[in-house]
Amino acid sequence: MMADVTVLVVDDESRMRKLIKDFLIQKDYNILEAEDGEKALKVYEENKEKINLILLDVMMPKLDGWSVLRQIRQSNKALPIVMLTARAEEQDELFGFELGVDEYITKPFSPKILVARVEAILKRTKPESRELKSYDGIVIDNEGRTVTVDGKQVELSFREYELLKYLLDNENIALSRDKILNTVWNYDYYGDSRTIDSHIKKIRHKLGKKGKHIQTIRGIGYKFEIK
């Protein structure tokens, strides 16, 4: 079922790459590997048309994970990228989200949990039945996973797209931050509300004047409403 899915695993530890690869292969994923940041960019450029997700270590020789992330995000905003990190500092995570990280997995981790998260992300990026609906000029194309505002395409990361879609799907409903985290991030995220606030800020900016439709509900969370 997943034979057409390719995951790029980037980590300087060969044992870690083998561990991840062994578990993902059980799910019939195609695996590409890279042992440092420079090799990761080379493998990505050679296979970018078929790579569906990247598992990217932060601390690596030659070029670290942040540098790799920045370069990939210059041309590809939508490709899901999951950072593998030994650090769980809040500021590091917020910095990563600003750069376009979709999810974090902190080492040491359970390989089964990693596989579950990979599957969840890939399931959410799988094209849905084509449906176009306009929200005051904001149009989401589920099949193409694209967003346009007044006919102009807006570049959103995977997580930004999922968050905006969730708000639109629940138009006029006040959504708590906890509910947003549990639904959009699709697992128990041990962070604080600034993760959501950071994403909302970026989405509003990208939507321009239409960003006003995303309202802050004090003490609760957010709501998409067209008045």
pTM, rounded to two decimals: 0.63
Kindly report the CATH number that applies to the domain delimited by 6-125. Answer: 3.40.50.2300
**Residue whose C-alpha is closest to residue 165's, from 142, 188, 193:** 142
Say which residue the tokens 């395409």 belong to. Answer: 153
Residue 8's H or E segment, with its range, is: strand 6-10
How many Cα atoms are found within 13 Å in the side-chain-facing hemisphere of 210? Answer: 18
Nearest CA to 117 out of 53, 204, 22, 51 is that of 53
Helices (H), 105-157: 111-125
Q: Where in the chain are all domains bearing CATH 1.10.10.10?
A: 132-224
**Residue 198: exposure state from Cβ atoms within 10 A (0-12, 13-18, ≥19):** middle
pLDDT digits (tens, 9 = 90+) for 104-154: 888 888 888 899 989 988 887 776 555 677 899 999 887 778 899 998 999
Domain 132-224 has CATH 1.10.10.10: yes
Q: What is the residue whose two structure tokens read 């942040």?
A: 66
Low-confidence spans in the chain with pLDDT less than 50: 1-2
DSSP-assigned letter for residue 54: E
* Residue 213 neighbours by CB distance under 10 Å: 20
Alpha-carbon span 107 to 120, nearest angstrom: 19
The H or E element containing residue 197 is helix 194-207
The segment(s) of the chain belonging to CATH 3.40.50.2300 are: 6-125
- What is the Cα–Cα distance from 181 to 178, expressed in whole angstroms? 5
Which residue type occupies 166? Answer: Y
Instruction: Identify the pLDDT of residue 41.
Output: 96
DSSP-derived letter for residue 160 is H
SS3 4: coil
